């Protein structure tokens, strides 16, 4: 019996996995940051609405507008610099009524769509690779100046994922690695003082336990104090007494480890692992080379996001302010992730008998 291409449809295990991660997020956030609700439910509704809309949209249709999405992304990244809301010295957010949107998060999946099409529509030669780096430099620079170093790093990692799935020859990839390595001194020069201090303190948090090393130390205490089953929801000393900073965003893993213990932390990681493995399956059954490149970029970006978040909560990497996908509080991050996952599901090749 011949199999033919069918319209995009819901992948039930994938969708259930996303729903369970969002449910875990709601349960934990209501225990450690109840003030977020009921407004945060609006972000969740918007996220799932975008997910179901985009999974029903052919990737080829979205690809038609890839260049428009790139231009729109640049415009969105400029807006915070013009009309953005200043919070703790950063200009990352745009107020829209009761909501605040962080364009740097929202544009990530759209930039992946653009680069996935740009790097697969023709063979990647030296000229095209240089153009791709220049096109990447524009949004990355706009994100860095806000400043939002974590999002900028994730954007670059997503681009690398797209690049690996393109027709790029290995020698060009090596040149790209050399290019980025050569930019390290420049990147260090443009980092904000507090960002430089985070990297320095990472090597020895105890050097400044009440200053730049405070977050890392409190996070490790939280993780260790949860033991096997945790202290119980709403019973964490570090989280409930606010010793752990940003407990609902940058340190949600530490909050879960303290209140739900090792079992809760493992459950969280298993959920993330399942979704990442589904993305691998989607990339292997993608509708087109551009679709495969997009899913590959999204996979690498989300994998890096999970790894960096958990790593900084355990004191293994410098603190960069990276949320845990679908679980950390952050409406823009949740919405961007749901948009990316919806497009990825729509990029999967479907068959019917």
Could you tell me the residue ranges of all domains in the chain? 31-348
Q: Does this model's pTM top 0.85? A: yes
Sign of CA dihedral 60, 65, 71, 75: negative
Six-digit token string for 232? 């119980």
Q: Are 333 and 306 in contact (CB under 8 A)?
A: no
Q: Are 27 and 267 in contact (CB under 8 A)?
A: no
Q: Supply the pLDDT for residue 168.
A: 74
């900084």: which residue's tokens? 312
Strands 4-5 vs 85-87: parallel, antiparallel or unpaired: unpaired
For the sheet with 99-101, list strands across it. 85-87, 90-96, 99-101
**CA pair distance 211, 170, nearest whole angstrom:** 44
Q: Supply the pLDDT for residue 166.
A: 82
List the chain pLDDT tens, one digit each, 353 residues: 344 455 556 788 999 999 999 999 999 999 888 888 899 999 999 999 999 999 888 899 999 999 999 999 999 999 888 876 666 666 777 888 778 889 999 999 999 999 999 999 888 777 888 899 899 999 998 998 887 888 888 999 999 999 888 877 766 667 767 777 777 777 667 666 666 666 666 555 556 555 566 777 888 888 888 788 888 888 887 888 777 888 888 889 989 999 999 999 999 999 999 999 999 999 988 889 999 999 999 999 999 999 999 998 988 877 777 899 999 988 899 999 999 999 999 888 765 43
Q: What is the Cα gyration radius of the chain?
A: 20
Q: Supply the pLDDT for residue 4.
A: 45
Instruction: Count Cα neighbours of 132 within 13 Å in the Cβ-side half-sphere.
Output: 29
Helix axes 12-32, 252-284, angle to 10 degrees: 170
Q: How far is CA 219 from CA 26, 116, 230, in A?
A: 21, 37, 15
């Amino acid at each position: 019996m011949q199999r033919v291409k069918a319209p995009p449809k819901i992948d039930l295990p994938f969708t259930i996995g996303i729903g369970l991660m969002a449910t875990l997020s709601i349960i934990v956030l209501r225990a450690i940051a109840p003030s977020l609700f009921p407004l945060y439910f609006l972000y969740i509704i918007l996220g799932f609405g975008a997910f179901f809309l985009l999974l029903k949209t052919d990737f080829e249709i979205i690809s038609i507008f890839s260049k428009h999405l790139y231009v729109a992304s640049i415009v969105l990244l400029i807006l915070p610099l013009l009309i953005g809301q200043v919070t703790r010295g950063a200009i990352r957010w745009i107020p829209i009524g009761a909501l605040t949107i962080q364009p740097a998060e929202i544009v990530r999946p759209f930039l992946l769509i653009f680069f996935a099409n740009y790097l697969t529509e023709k063979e990647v030669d030296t000229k095209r690779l240089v153009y791709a780096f220049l096109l990447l430099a524009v949004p990355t620079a706009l994100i860095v100046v806000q400043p939002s170093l974590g999002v900028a790093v994730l954007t670059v990692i997503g681009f690398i994922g797209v690049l690996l799935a393109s027709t790029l020859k290995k020698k060009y990839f090596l040149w790209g690695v050399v290019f980025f390595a050569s930019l390290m001194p420049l990147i260090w020069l443009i980092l904000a003082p507090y960002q430089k201090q985070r990297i320095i303190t990472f090597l020895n948090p105890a050097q400044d336990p009440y200053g730049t090393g405070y977050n890392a130390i409190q996070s490790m205490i939280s993780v260790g104090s949860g033991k096997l089953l945790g202290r119980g929801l709403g019973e964490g000393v570090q989280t409930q007494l606010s010793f752990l900073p940003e407990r609902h965003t940058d340190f949600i893993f530490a909050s879960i480890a303290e209140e739900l213990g090792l079992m809760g932390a493992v459950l969280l990681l298993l959920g993330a692992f399942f979704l990442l493995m589904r993305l691998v399956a989607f990339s292997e059954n993608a509708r087109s080379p551009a679709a495969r490149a997009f899913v590959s970029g999204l996979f690498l970006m989300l994998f890096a996001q999970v790894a960096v978040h958990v790593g900084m909560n355990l004191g293994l990497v410098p603190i960069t302010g990276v949320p845990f996908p679908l679980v950390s509080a952050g409406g823009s991050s949740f919405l961007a992730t749901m948009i990316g996952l919806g497009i990825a599901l729509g990029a999967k090749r479907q068959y019917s008998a």
